[in-house]
Structure 1
Amino acid sequence: MAAEKNKAILKKGNAAIAAGDNEGFLSFCTDDTEWTFVGDKILKGKEAVRQWMAAEYVEPPTNTVVTLIAENDFLTALGYLTMKDKDGQEAHYEYCDIWRFRDDKIVELKAFVVKIETK
């Protein structure tokens, strides 16, 4: 049951981001959430994530989730992401996010994100 609930939480969170509602997304995170962007940076705490989102999401990204795999407190999302930088240039990424939940909130993210070229 937790697996389906976690999928629903992430889908609501992604919808909030798509609508430009970062705070709506953050309402699904614990205060001590920790996000690891493998090979890049680690964000510790909701405030660090808030600041990162404000800087990175110049406008809401386009996120296409291709696959969700859930088991117990873990949810893996595979997909594609398009984001604009501060100069309005689009960048395209493929990702694998591994989310961990605690008490129906996101407590941890381990993100494997690779910039890709589109055709």
Structure 2
Amino acid sequence: MNLKLILQKANACIAAGDHEGFLKFCTKDTRWTFIGDRTLNGIDEVRAYMNEAYKEPPKFEVALMIEEGNYLSAMGTISLLNENSEWISYEYCDVWRFEDGKLAELKAFVVS
């Protein structure tokens, strides 16, 4: 199973503003931890987060992906539109754990 390809397809949904399409790539009990910030438990909390944080599709560039077993790390930059309609850029490293080809867990390290 090519985890890089799965994440690329999921990210294409995000870039197109298709939150539900992205969520089809997640397990129902997916868990997202933003280190030093918050943890989202389950697909409903992730959906609510995406609807708030991604009112406009984020702009992102993946610089590197490293796959090992059921894990995939992705590093790059992401820009989000803030409440003042300004694009704010962040550097990130996401560590994804997959279950049966789906995004089961995220540990996200994000720096502004």
The equivalent position to 1:45 in structure 2, one of 42, 45, 48, is 42
1:39 aligned counterpart, secondary structure: coil
Cα distance in 2 for partners of 1:33, 1:67 equals 23
1:100 aligned counterpart, secondary structure: strand
The equivalent position to 1:58 in structure 2, one of 55, 80, 91, is 55
1:80 aligned counterpart, secondary structure: strand
Contact 1:58 1:86 in 2 (8 A): no
- Post-superposition offset of 1:87: 2.3
Q: TM-score if structure 2 supplies the norm length?
A: 0.98
Q: What residue is the counterpart of 1:70 in the other structure?
A: 67
1:107 aligned counterpart, secondary structure: strand
**Structure 2 counterpart of 1:92, one-letter code:** S
Cα distance in 2 for partners of 1:51, 1:10 equals 20
Q: TM-score if structure 1 supplies the norm length?
A: 0.92
Is 2:103 the partner of 1:83? no
Q: Name stretches of at least 5 consecutive residues in structure 2 with no aligned partner.
A: none
Q: What residue is the counterpart of 1:7 in the other structure?
A: 4
- Post-superposition offset of 1:90: 1.1
Structure 1 segments (4+ residues) deviating >4 Å: none
Instruction: Kindly report the root-mean-square deviation, in angstroms, between the aligned alpha carbons of the 2 structures.
Output: 0.6
Is 2:27 the partner of 1:30? yes
Is 2:31 the partner of 1:20? no
Q: Name stretches of at least 5 consecutive residues in structure 1 with no aligned partner.
A: none
Q: How many residues align?
A: 112
1:87 aligned counterpart, secondary structure: coil
